[in-house]
Amino acid sequence: MSAQHTADELKRTALHQLNLDLGAKMVAFAGYAMPVHYQLGILKEHLHTRAKAGLFDVSHMGQAYLVGPDHATTARALEQLVPADVLSLAPGQQRYSQLLNDDGGIIDDLMLTRPASAAEAGRLYVVLNAARKEVDYAHIEQRLPDNVRLEPAPQRALLALQGPAAAQAMLALSPPAKALAFMTAANMPVGGIDCHVSRSGYTGEDGFEISVAAERANELARRLLAQAGVEPIGLGARDSLRLEAGLCLYGHDIDETTSPVEAGLAWSIQKRRRFEGGFPGARRIGEELAQGVTRRRVGIRPDGRAPAREGTEILALLGERLGTITSGGFGPSVNGPIAMGYVPPGRAGAGTPVNLMVRGKALGASVTALPFVPHRYAR
């Protein structure tokens, strides 16, 4: 546990006692006591999620609503902060984007959803990273027009059900979930409990993220865990799963110095926004889209079995420093070490040989395409 937090200082999610009952090893993460793994251990939890279904407690994430008089007003307010096309979102549609600073650096990445219900017209639901949510809330509130307000929702918990058996487990408790396509969302009962459900996740697998009133979270989690093939999964496997899927982790692969284009996230900037601009850092991002970048996020496969951790230097074969590993570890599904980092675009082609400085030794590796494991989203 972090020396910066004693157990008594850490915040607890609504599932804290259930996590303890399930045998979780708890660690400090983003100011919360969070399960790093349960009785299966990280390796088996990772492989179980790829083969069946895993249930994650992600209630530490920031859930909030932007509320305005109508969708157009609220959407245009958010478009002043992110490069995504929010205005064109259909009811029930979800989109990935980033909060940007004036230089086009990423303050945080986020998921945003236009609620499907007509009763929620003028509202946008956002999910932010736990370690950044207070920074994000302050940043957003300072920049909203008078007729749009931010409403954080700490009274809600968040669960993620991920893996190829997730749909079967979900449909047993909520038949309406069958109608959800990837990156869509709706309000629906799950096991008789009112929830907001999206077809999305952070593992590269099919799955759902389920927002629920905190006082019903324990009951909901137990019902999901009672379904065939569902096991509790901790943050350790969540990290190795997202790394295999080539997904960014804020504060590691992206930060306030990184633009979405450098990070390989240009796909999240829709055509209208590229043309119109109007978001922070639009000039830099426009130039990068047109002229290219000086560095690109890539996958790295070390040749041997030794993992290359964050901060490891990436070198050309003749010793020139190319960049740094931003995420690295063991990929259970590929049965070997994997990593991501930034290199110049001329060295970013798949198959490019590089060296990694691991404990003072130059170890061979090669640039590889992302993701390491194919995505299996419900298209």
The DSSP symbol for 322 reads E
Q: 31 in a domain, yes or no?
A: yes
pLDDT digits (tens, 9 = 90+) for 235-280: 999 999 999 999 999 999 999 999 999 999 999 999 999 999 999 9
| Amino acid code (one letter) for 361 | K
Q: Which CATH number belongs to the domain containing residue 216 in this structure?
A: 3.30.1360.120
Distance CA 376, CA 162 (A): 11
Q: 253 in a domain, yes or no?
A: no
Q: Do residues 223 and 298 both lie within one domain?
A: no
Q: Do residues 169 and 237 both lie within one domain?
A: yes
Identify the CA nearest to 263 among candidates 337, 327, 173.
327
pLDDT digits (tens, 9 = 90+) for 184-202: 999 999 999 999 999 999 9
pLDDT of residue 7: 66
Q: Do residues 25 and 163 both lie within one domain?
A: yes
Is residue 247 within 8 A of residue 240, CB to CB? The reply is: no
**What is the residue-averaged pLDDT of the chain?**
97
- Residue 93 burial (10 A CB sphere; 0-12, 13-18, 19+): middle
- The structure tokens listed for 122 are 């003028």
Distances (CA, A) of 2 to 42, 56, 329: 19, 21, 20
Q: Which CATH number belongs to the domain containing residue 352 in this structure?
A: 2.40.30.110
Q: What is the DSSP string of 241-282?
A: HHHHTT---BTTTB-TT--TTTTT-GGGS-HHHHHH--STTH
Is residue 324 within 8 A of residue 308, CB to CB? The reply is: no
pLDDT digits (tens, 9 = 90+) for 111-136: 999 999 999 999 999 999 999 999 99
| Structural domains counted in the chain | 2
Q: What range defines the domain where residue 48 resides? A: 11-60+155-244
